[in-house]
Amino acid sequence: MRWPDRRGRFWPTLATIVGVAVAVALGNWQLNRGAEKRALQARFEAQAAQPPIHVGARELDATDVDMRRVEARGVFDPRHAVFLDNRIHRGVPGYHVVMPLKLEGGERYLLVNRGWVPRTAFREAPQVRTSPGMVEVTGVATIPGLRAVELSQAVIEGQIWQNLTIERYRKAMPLPIQPFVLRQDSALDDGLVRAWQAPDFGIEKHYGYAFQWFALAATLVVFYAVTQYRRKRSRAA
């Protein structure tokens, strides 16, 4: 006579166990992602405190300098500049000016993100004030990747690009370049805005998601306990 009751408890119990297990697993995964991002942030802060790496004509490994402060000396080449579209500064659309710097003492170039300039009325490549002589620039080394969704992988409107990768630039421009970009923060008399934001590693987001998954697991347990308690009371009555 008790077999139907056991069958009635089997599926709710199984569903609760599976649901709790999945929620806990996802919560732990978010905690691990948060820990990874925290370690990445600590690495970034530690590297930012180190002396800058000098970038010369010898090609460097991008992974060795990623997120490190770097310095370089050379001459800008405006002919091979590209302008990254849809970069917003204080609500105003504009471009990031990425220009190769011919490094002192060799034939290699370094791409420098010189900063932000407002978009022109006709979406043309802006005129950027550039020193014709030797300059020294400092900043943070970054490895650029795709930033926005594109309908085409081709370069649009000549020098105006949606996104930048090292591979894309190498295919488009006949220059031997270092495999990373220097995001300039040193001052030059060029009128460009270099108000770079500190990177957001999203640590709190992962911990927030973890809390939500653990809360869901606790809710499933409480719901199951209350349901079974009410079931027993109704049978006893």
**pLDDT, position 203:** 87
The residues pairing with 177 across neighbouring beta strands, listed in sequence order, are 109
Predicted confidence at residue 88, as pLDDT, reads 92
The whole-model pTM stands at 0.72
pLDDT value of residue 1 = 41
Tell me what pLDDT residue 130 has: 95
Which sign does the torsion angle of CA 154, 156, 157, 162 carry? negative
Amino acid 39: pLDDT: 87
Can you give the residue ranges of every domain in the chain? Answer: 3-44+202-236, 52-184
Per-residue pLDDT of the chain (237 residues; tens, 9 = 90+): 444 555 567 788 889 999 999 999 999 999 999 999 888 888 878 877 788 999 999 999 998 898 899 999 999 999 999 999 999 999 999 999 999 999 998 999 999 999 999 988 777 888 899 999 999 999 999 998 755 455 455 555 688 999 999 999 999 998 999 999 999 999 998 999 998 887 777 889 999 999 999 999 999 999 989 888 888 777 776
